[in-house]
Structure 1
Amino acid sequence: MFEHLKEQPKDKILALMQAYKDDPRDDKIDLGVGVYKNPQGVTPIMRAVKEAERRWWDEETTKAYTGLAGDPAFSDAMIGLVLGDAVARDHVAAVATPGGTGAVRQAFDLIHMANPQARVFVSDPTWPNHLSILKHLGIETVSYRYFDSETGGVDFDGMMADLAGLRAGDVVLLHGCCHNPTGANLTGPEWQAVIALMNDIGALPMIDIAYQGFGDGLEADAAATRAVASGCPEVLIAASCSKNFGIYRERTGILMAVAQDKGMHAVTQGNLAYLNRQNYSFPPDHGARLVSVVLHSDDLRADWQAELEEVRNGMLALREQLSTELRKLTNSDRYGFIAQHRGMFSRLGLSPETVERLRKDHGIYMVGDSRINIAGLNKDTVPKLAQAIVEVGA
């Protein structure tokens, strides 16, 4: 049987990580992998998470399974964090998942179960795993314009023109905040226009929110997701705890299904639990439990939010520094958009050839489409990156 298997394409980011590891240069810079790092290049365990582990160590009495949907306290805490009071709790079905990727996969599975003819409209560009999973499941995808490489902002007119091709029952995949890979976000009025268009056509919004708290703050970063959840009849939301709690390896995520019709809650919850059972049965609990402990403890929650603000402001400072350095060196505002972007990523608009020159000549590693991880920089490496960009003629 195995002789019929075909070799799968290599993951470009994983390949980039390996190339970086193999590079012997001491002054190399890794801007490729999408993991937060502090100025020392370390992905730290957050203070509140470490304390939550200590407390849970003392309290835990069993390693028995949780329910198919995971621990209800985790769902309640995450629904509160993401949705606030935008919708009533009994209008939200939810299941814990192995990371945000697991939530995305379960959402696509649910879409295909509910409507096998549904097309999923995906921003150009988007997180590559979105497209990979959709292809694997055989779900038709339609690309909509999103990023304007010339301005470094959103091509909103192009986006709306492409979304006009939606049909009732189609799905629009949206990034709740800190768009990956571009860092460019919709404005409040633009979100309202997208909501109105989807409602007029009868399309379902699906939101992937993986970086809440990394952009403009926990509440501000959730505003668009809350507007969609309260303004549309139904919405799917895939959320990740990897970044804002720093628990990447714990694989902690959640899928929420919001319906304004309260009568849909039971059947939707049942289908979400069914999908969990088919794919991995009971979801992992340790990371979810730590998130619950943090969010349900006043002192830990306050400390977590304070540290998250330190992380967010640190990345904003790096954005401002890089934008200023490039303005000085180029005597132009060509890269001013870097300071306007939010989250860990920015897409610089460089050609693949220029990206390769940065790697070969300067030991600077970024994804081929010129997406950089801002958190891979520190105040000392920002000038080196800016100088290298200018030297390669970008």
Structure 2
Amino acid sequence: MLEHLKEQPKDKILALMAAYRADARDTKIDLGVGVYKDASGNTPVMRAVKEAERRINAEQTTKAYTGLAGDPAFSDAMIDLVLDGAVARDRVAAVATPGGTGAIRQALELIKMAAPGATVWLSDPTWPNHPSIIKYLGMKSKSYRYFDSDTGQVDYVGMLTDLGQVLPGDVVLLHGCCHNPTGANLTMPQWKGVIDLLKDKAAMPFIDIAYQGFGDGLAQDGAATRLVASSFDNVLIAASCSKNFGIYRERTGILMAVAKDEAQRDLAQQNLAYLNRQNFSFPPDHGARIVSTILTDAELRADWEAELEEVRLGMLDLRKQLADELRRLSNSDRFDFLAEHRGMFSRLGTSPDKVEMLRADHGIYMVGDSRMNIAGLNADTVPVLARAIIDAGV
């Protein structure tokens, strides 16, 4: 049987990681992998996470399964963090999932069950796993323009033009904040324009929010998601705890389904639990319990928010330093957009040939579409990157 399997395409980011490890140059810089790193190149365990784990280990008396939807305390805490009362709690169904990726997969499965003919619209570009999972599930998808490589900004006119072709019942996937891979975000007036268009088209929004707290702050980063959730009868929201809690390997995510009313919420909850049962039965609990422990304890939450703010401001400082250095070296403002982007990523908007030149000549590793992880830099490597970008003629 196994001889009939076909080779699958290699993951470009994993291949990039392997190439970086094999590079013997001491001056190499890894801007490819999407993981936060501090100035010394480590991905630290947050203080509040360590304390939450200590308490869990001291107090936990069983490792028995939680429910199919996960621990209700986790769902309540995450719904509060993401939605903050934007919709009534009795309208929100939720299940814990293995990471944000698991939440996206479950959301797409739910869409396929509820509306098998729906087209899922994706930003161009988007996180590569979005189209990959959709293709695997045999669902229909289309793309809408999002990023203007010449300006480094959102192509808002192109976005609205393309979304004008959305049909009733279609699903539009939107990044709640810190767009991956571009770092370019919609303004709140632009979000309102998108909402008006989707309401007019009778389409359903699907929000992927994986970086809340990495952009403009926890409340600001959740504002667009809350506005969308309060504007529609039905919204799907996939949220990840990997980045803002730094618990990547714990695979902690949640899928929320905003329903029209309590009866519809109950139906959605049933189906979400069913999907969990089919795909992995009970969701992982350790990371979810860390998150709920932190979010429900005033002292731990305050410490987590303070450390998260340090992370956010550190990335903003690196963005400004890089933009300033490129302005100095190029004697132009064409790279100023890097300081305006938010989150871990920015897209330079250059060609794969230039990206390869950066790797071959300067040991700068970034994804072929020129997405770079700003958190892979520090104050010492920013000038090195800036000089390499100029020398490569980006």
TM-score range (shorter-chain normalised) is over 0.9
**Which has the higher mean CA deviation after the structures are superposed, 186-195 or 311-320?**
186-195
Q: Distance in 2 between matches of 1:178 and 1:221?
A: 8
- How far apart are residue 233 of structure 1 and its match? 1.3
Matched, 1:299 2:306: no
Deviations 1:131-166 (A, max 9, x none): 100000011110100000010000000000000111
Counterpart in the other structure of 2:255? 255
Q: Distance in 2 between matches of 1:250 and 1:235?
A: 26
Q: Which amino acid aligns with 1:315?
A: M
Matched, 1:150 2:150: yes
Does the Cα contact within 8 Å between 2:355 and 2:366 map onto a contact in 1?
Answer: yes
- How far apart are residue 116 of structure 1 and its match? 0.5
SS of residue paired to 1:54? helix
Q: Which amino acid aligns with 1:355?
A: V
Q: What is the 5 A alignment of 1:91-240?
A: 91-240=91-240
SS of residue paired to 1:231? coil
- How far apart are residue 393 of structure 1 and its match? 1.2
Q: Distance in 2 between matches of 1:74 and 1:110?
A: 21
Listed as ranges, the gaps of 5+ residues in structure 1 are none
Counterpart in the other structure of 2:326? 326
- How far apart are residue 261 of structure 1 and its match? 2.3
- How far apart are residue 179 of structure 1 and its match? 0.1
Q: Distance in 2 between matches of 1:188 and 1:259?
A: 24
Matched, 1:268 2:268: yes
SS of residue paired to 2:230? helix
Runs of 4+ in 1 over 6 A off after TM superposition: none
Q: Distance in 2 between matches of 1:362 and 1:161?
A: 40
Q: Distance in 2 between matches of 1:350 and 1:166?
A: 30
SS of residue paired to 1:150? coil
- How far apart are residue 263 of structure 1 and its match? 2.1
Does the Cα contact within 8 Å between 2:318 and 2:378 map onto a contact in 1?
Answer: yes
Q: Distance in 2 between matches of 1:393 and 1:153?
A: 20
Query: What is the number of residues matched between the two proteins?
Result: 394
SS of residue paired to 2:293? helix
**Which has the higher mean CA deviation after the structures are superposed, 11-20 or 196-205?**
196-205
- How far apart are residue 85 of structure 1 and its match? 1.0
Q: What is the 5 A alignment of 1:239-250?
A: 239-250=239-250
Matched, 1:340 2:340: yes
State the TM-score, normalizing by the size of structure 2: 1.00
SS of residue paired to 1:138? coil
SS of residue paired to 1:177? coil
Deviations 1:58-80 (A, max 9, x none): 11000000000000000000000
State the TM-score, normalizing by the size of structure 1: 1.00
SS of residue paired to 2:243? coil
SS of residue paired to 2:121? strand
Deviations 1:191-217 (A, max 9, x none): 111111111111010000000000000
Identity of aligned residues (%): 73
SS of residue paired to 1:375? helix
Q: Distance in 2 between matches of 1:295 and 1:51?
A: 13
- How far apart are residue 262 of structure 1 and its match? 2.5
Counterpart in the other structure of 1:17? 17
Q: Distance in 1 between matches of 2:2 and 2:116?
A: 30
